[in-house]
Amino acid sequence: MTEGRPTAYYNGRDRIPSHAWEGVPPVTHDFSRFAGTASYITSPELRHAVNVALAIERPLLVRGEPGTGKTLLAGAVAEDLGLELITWNVKSTSKAAEGLYVYDTVQRLQDSRFGDHDVADIRQYIRLGPLGRALTTERQVVLLIDEIDKADLEFPNDLLHELDLMEFTITETGDRHRARQRPMVVITSNAEKELPDPFLRRCIFHFIAFPGAELMEEIVRVHHPAIGEALLAQCLAKFYWLRELRGLRKRPSTSELVDWIGALLAAGVQPGQLAGEIPFLGALVKKEEDAAAVAKAGASGRWPRDDG
């Protein structure tokens, strides 16, 4: 194998022999294209995963518990790279082919009944889906395929086929479309079901760990830059104490922390007021049994030490 070049390259249709690479300089990529944004704070590991996916043109599959910013990542990538964001919200009934296009037969039938349209032109009843739009744009886009594990088991493999081809034909018209630019694809999963191994092999994978206190402090300051040190420290102590409380069915997430702090600041709450209570608890916990568990723990004096 020649250093920096493969012995053979397969582009989806033709295998190119190794001698074809003689005299061709190796391709290098910028592994620092994505650096996060002012409003989306990232870990170094997440930035590396995004840049690897960009460099080798593979879909990026991200997992993590709710509130870790999986869905927002695609928007941050689009913002940082100056690209358009196209979103595909996957449902239990979603099919990969519908991501390419849908033929609106119902509308055509209605138009034929009322006679106010030329129904012979089928193209006016073709609606491109999110994947179809991503493959027919002139410039590269970011395509978010959100919550892929909501669909049936065949969906990931069917989607993989379409992503590999990067082209499609509209059967009803014969129009063939081939991508000018391969989209940056971000796929999110809540791990509700296992994804097929062939699909996983074709993706770059990253698990977004829940932010630690140091990273969380940066995130909070993006949303509440004027918050005082003492209040922030006590808010974080209460927040992480809640997340570790045994028996809690739904642990509070980053967005709930940001909302809770916003409520505290709006009400003018001072650090000392957090010593023996959690004001506006409903901004943090969203289940009745969780609120009861917090009240019980507080009544037994099990507040975080950092509250003084």
What are the 10-residue block averages of pLDDT along the chain, 308 residues in total?
A: 39 51 60 87 92 94 89 95 95 89 85 74 88 93 94 87 88 89 93 85 93 92 94 94 90 94 94 84 93 83 56
Element (H, E) at 87: strand 84-89
Architecture of domain 31-207: 3-Layer(aba) Sandwich (3.40)
Q: Global pTM?
A: 0.81
pLDDT given at position 76: 96
d(CA 170, CA 129) in angstroms, rounded, equals 12
Strand pairing of 175-178 and 167-170?
antiparallel
Q: What is the pLDDT of residue 275?
A: 76
Q: Taking the mean position of all CA atoms in its chain, how far away is CA 220?
A: 20
Residue 48's pLDDT is what?
A: 94
The CB-side HSE value for 155 (13 A sphere, CA atoms) comes to 22
Residue with token string 């349209």: 117
Reported as type and span, the H/E element at residue 257 is: helix 254-266
Token pair recorded at residue 213:
């206190």
Note the pLDDT of residue 308.
42
Q: What is the pLDDT of residue 31?
A: 75
Structure tokens belonging to residue 151? 């669909």
8 Å CB contact between 238 and 278: yes
246 vs 238: CA distance, rounded Å: 14
Give the pLDDT confidence score for residue 20 in this predicted structure: 57
Closest among 43, 161, 30 to 100, alpha carbons compared: 161
Three-point CA angle 92, 131, 205, nearest 5°? 75
Crossing angle (nearest 10°) for helices 44-56 and 70-81: 60
Residues 6+ apart with CB under 8 A from 24: 5
Residue 10 has a pLDDT of 37
Per-residue model confidence (pLDDT) at position 246: 87
Domain ranges of the chain: 1-30, 31-207, 213-307
The secondary structure element, H or E, covering residue 38 is none
